[in-house]
Amino acid sequence: EAGVTQSPTHLIKTRGQQATLRCSPISGHTSVYWYQQALGLGLQFLLWYDEGEERNRGNFPPRFSGRQFPNYSSELNVNALELEDSALYLCASSSADSKGADTQYFGPGTRLTVL
């Protein structure tokens, strides 16, 4: 079974540009989560999509946005990039089991560097 995939692996942008990150969930998973992991700041929850809808959002400005497509893959868009947006962006997918428990499985991440 293929795991969560993310592209690109690395992305280099300059301040003010836009970045688009992509995530394909595990087959059969309908939920996709995005996290930002900046140096020394741990995992910060960004966005959660399920069945094409945004279900929850972390404490990030509106220039962080995304969407989920009918095939459950997802995009994260970051507009007006700032230097502090440099981080590893992790995507996870999940599907509730018979007990309604939700286990997240992570992709390898996209390393975004803003110059």
CB 14, min distance to another protein, A: 22
Between CA 10 and CA 91 the distance in angstroms is 14
Query: By CB under 8 A, is residue 19 in contact with another protein?
Result: no
CB of 16 to another protein, least distance (A): 26
| Span interacting with another protein, options 12-20, 63-71, 75-83, 86-94, rule CB under 8 A | 86-94
Structure tokens, 89: 């962006």
The answer to whether 48 and 74 are in contact (CB under 8 A) is no
Residue 16, token pair as written in the block: 């003010």
Assess 105 for contact with another protein (CB under 8 A).
Answer: yes
Collect all residues with Cβ–Cβ distance below 8 Å to 77 and sequence separation of at least 6.
18, 19, 20, 21, 64, 65, 66
Using CB under 8 A as the criterion, which residues of the chain lie in contact with another protein when the complex forms?
4, 6, 31, 33, 42-43, 45, 48, 50, 55-56, 88, 90, 92, 96, 99-109, 111
